[in-house]
Structure 1
């Protein structure tokens, strides 16, 4: 995990994972899935809904359904500074 991701988590972002089900443009009876994952803010999920809008404008495969989950990795109150470390054999 890089420094940027930690800053996002401290600002309240959590990991959002979405599975988008879409139909093939040439074969409407075929249903495929695409997994998308990004740090996003709940409950509004601006990045997820922005991606869905992009899909609807730019991708030929029409969306059938979307299911997603959101998980906060850490919260600002869970962060603590460690000043020492002890090693036990």
Structure 2
């Protein structure tokens, strides 16, 4: 069985991490943190925005801010040809 995350990476998805800061209704003076990770497509982030839409509809906590980090894990290799000889004594 092939991993779902690997298939997503082959389709151009990269690992997206969102740091979500929010206020709980029972403690509005405290800023809370939730970390979310999923494979998503940059720069539009449809999976993340679907999650945030769900948050706004279903969760009573008010969003303060969202920080996003994204990394495409599968990409062409970075290879440079070196012309020369290096002697190590």
Do the structures match in fold with TM over 0.5?
Answer: yes
Structure number, greater radius of gyration: 2
Which residues of 2 match residues 1-89 of structure 1 at below 5 A?
3-75=3-75, 77-78=76-77
Q: Which runs of 5+ in 2 are unaligned?
A: 78-89
Measured after TM superposition, the shift of residue 32 of structure 1 is 0.3
Measured after TM superposition, the shift of residue 26 of structure 1 is 1.5
Measured in 2, the distance between the counterparts of 1:74 and 1:50 equals 24
Measured in 1, the distance between the counterparts of 2:57 and 2:3 equals 33
Aligned length: 76
SS at match of 1:30: strand
Runs of 4+ deviating beyond 3 Å = none
Q: Which residue of 2 aligns with 1:85?
A: none
Q: Output the TM-score relative to the length of structure 1.
A: 0.80
Task: State the Cα deviation string for residues 50-72 of structure 1 (Å, max 9, x = none).
Answer: 10111011101100000010000
Q: Output the TM-score relative to the length of structure 2.
A: 0.80
Larger fraction in strand: 2
Q: Which runs of 5+ in 1 are unaligned?
A: 79-89
